[in-house]
Amino acid sequence: MYAGRGLRNMLRAAGPLPTCWPATPSAACKLAAEHLAGALDRLRTTFRWKAGDLDSAGLQTRIGASSLTLGGLLKHLARAEDHCFSTKLSGAPLGAPWDAVDWDTDSDLEFSSAADDTPEQLYALWDDTVERSRARLDAALADGGLDQLAHISWPDGRHASLRRLVCDLIEEYGRHTGHADLLREAVDGLVGETLRLDGAHG
């Protein structure tokens, strides 16, 4: 349905890092859903590349006084994906591994607990969650489009739209992909992007 769908298997593979990026639909594209989903997938791909193919030491690397790590970001964004396309969208409770966490005690536990997970566990968690998110977004778009109201609401009773949820997740990935840029450079010097599907160089 949207640009970048063909990268699904590549992102899940344990082999080489991706060498191309999904192209965000051009200005000629009249489908807002395709454009937003494509933009989200482009950020997902960039983030996964920045965090990919590292051992435990690489995933736990920190910069300066910051406690952020690539492993923590993998786990945090997996939770953000699940929260967006389950609880916020439909009201469904979070499943494993999030349902075993006392979030009232530590609302940022995914960041600190990532150090206890193996690289294989962290990559599988993010990859599987993104696959599930894509399926949920596809189903929601087919069932009501971007302007349908989501479960989440404000105190005055107004509900967010699916469009708002997708835009919020794009913003979340934008912030943390920038963090991942700096962290990955500190690990092994990897910077920028390689040749992308749209022919532009990053």
Which backbone phi and psi does 91 adopt, to 5 degrees? 90, 0
Whole-Å CA distances, 179 to 16, 49, 73, 160: 22, 13, 9, 27
d(CA 156, CA 184): 42
At the top level of CATH, the class of 33-188 is mainly alpha
Report residues of the chain scoring pLDDT below 70.
Answer: 1-31, 194-202
Q: What are the residue ranges spanned by the domains of the chain?
A: 33-188
Q: What pTM was computed for the model?
A: 0.82
161-187 pLDDT, tens digit per residue, is 999 999 999 999 999 999 999 999 999
Instruction: Tell me the CA distances in angstroms from 177 to 29, 60, 65, one per residue in order.
Output: 25, 16, 19
Give the CA distances from residue 200 to residues 10, 17, 124, 133, 195, in Å, rounded to whole numbers and listed in that order. 20, 19, 30, 28, 6
Contact 123, 71 (CB under 8 A): no
The reported pLDDT for the residue numbered 7 is 41
Give the pLDDT of residue 194: 54
Q: Integer distance in angstroms from the first to the last C-alpha of the chain?
A: 25
